[in-house]
Amino acid sequence: MGRGGLLGRPMKISSVERNVLLCVLRTSRVGPIFIETVKEWSGSSRDVVRRVFEKFNLKDGEMLGSDDLLRIAVTLFGMNVSPEVLSVSLDWSLFEELTSRIFENAGLNIMRNIQISIGKNKTQIDLLAFNEDTLYIVECKRWRRSITIGLIKTIESAMKRRILIMREFLSKTIGEGEFEIRLIPLLLTVYGSPYFDDVLFHSPLRTLKSFLSEPAVSLPSPPLLKMRLKEPLMTCSLQSPYLKHLRRRLFD
């Protein structure tokens, strides 16, 4: 584990420190970060730059590690820095991690890089985000090109297959019953505009918070898919026997 350790909520920083952090990210793209370089790029005093380095436990002349990048990105995203700017400095795994943070801040539980097998059918899912009665099945695409409807439709057949396999998995694992849950297929990208059709919802990262604030009951069906199970996807305790069972089956 890197210097950042377990990553918590975004740090509180000033607008001046925000500018310094943006310059830290920019300089990190070409190599180690240096206080003097960040000072020149940001136009801030050496004391301010040193304070930012100390606050984020950064070392003069060192490369940023994954934890460093993520802590900075989470903090800047919390200050409304555009995800387009942040994504340039994040690889695909850190993009997924930043996405996970947004779901967690919305009160959802996260599982990443899940492989599911049911009979002869197998699929891999980038991210599952869930509470008792709602399950977001998320495909993360760090596309750098213009997001068109045609591009979105290139992954729709794969997304539809994942949803059907997940429905079958839940039905056979938990059993059908009276508890209604909602499966929400979501394509998440860096760029583009919100969109949905009869297969999936699409949200760029900048509108994800707004999308998650919409009650699931108000979302159109399709693409939202309803099913009934014997019990909820989770209880209030993360140590519930059912959640342990779900994790074991998903990761086997």
> What are 201-228's pLDDT values in tens digits?
999 888 888 899 999 999 999 999 999 9
Task: Kindly state whether residues 178 and 61 are assigned to the same domain.
Answer: no
CB contact at 8 A, 47 and 82: no
Q: How many domains does the chain have?
A: 2
Per-residue three-class SS string for the chain = CCCCCCCCCCCCCCHHHHHHHHHHHHHHCCCCECHHHHHHHHCCCHHHHHHHHHHCCCCCCECCCHHHHHHHHHHHHHCCCCHHHHHCCCCHHHHHHHHHHHHHHCCCEEEEEEEEEECCEEEEEEEEEECCCEEEEEEEECCCCCCCHHHHHCCHHHHHHHHHHHHHHHHHHHCEEEEEEEEEEEEEECCCCCEECCCCEEEEHHHHHHHHHCCHHHCCCCCCEEEEECCCCCCCCCCCHHHHHHHHHHHC
Is 10 a member of any domain?
A: no
pLDDT beyond 70 at 109: yes
What range defines the domain where residue 178 resides? 102-251
Task: Kindly state whether residues 139 and 208 are assigned to the same domain.
Answer: yes
Is 89 a member of any domain?
A: no
Task: Kindly state whether residues 160 and 71 are assigned to the same domain.
Answer: no
Could you give the CA distance from residue 216 to residue 210 in angstroms, rounded to a whole number?
A: 12
Q: Residue 252 is encoded by which pair of tokens?
A: 């086997």
**Residue entry with tokens 């002869």:** 120
Is 29 a member of any domain?
A: yes
Task: Kindly state whether residues 154 and 236 are assigned to the same domain.
Answer: yes
Q: Which residues lie below 8 Å from residue 26, measured CB to CB, with a gap of 6+? A: 41, 89
pTM of the model: 0.75
Q: How confident is the model at residue 84 (pLDDT cuts 50, 70, 90)?
A: low
pLDDT beyond 80 at 177: yes
Mean pLDDT, rounded, for 215-243:
75
Q: Residue 128 is encoded by which pair of tokens?
A: 């599952």
Give the tens place of pLDDT for each residue, 25-51: 888 888 899 999 999 999 999 999 999
Mean pLDDT, rounded, for 90-116:
82
Task: Kindly state whether residues 26 and 139 are assigned to the same domain.
Answer: no
Task: Kindly state whether residues 74 and 115 are assigned to the same domain.
Answer: no
Cα 11 versus chain centre, distance: 19
Task: Kindly state whether residues 73 and 128 are assigned to the same domain.
Answer: no
Is 45 a member of any domain?
A: yes
Is 122 a member of any domain?
A: yes
Task: Kindly state whether residues 70 and 158 are assigned to the same domain.
Answer: no
- Determine the residue type at 163: I
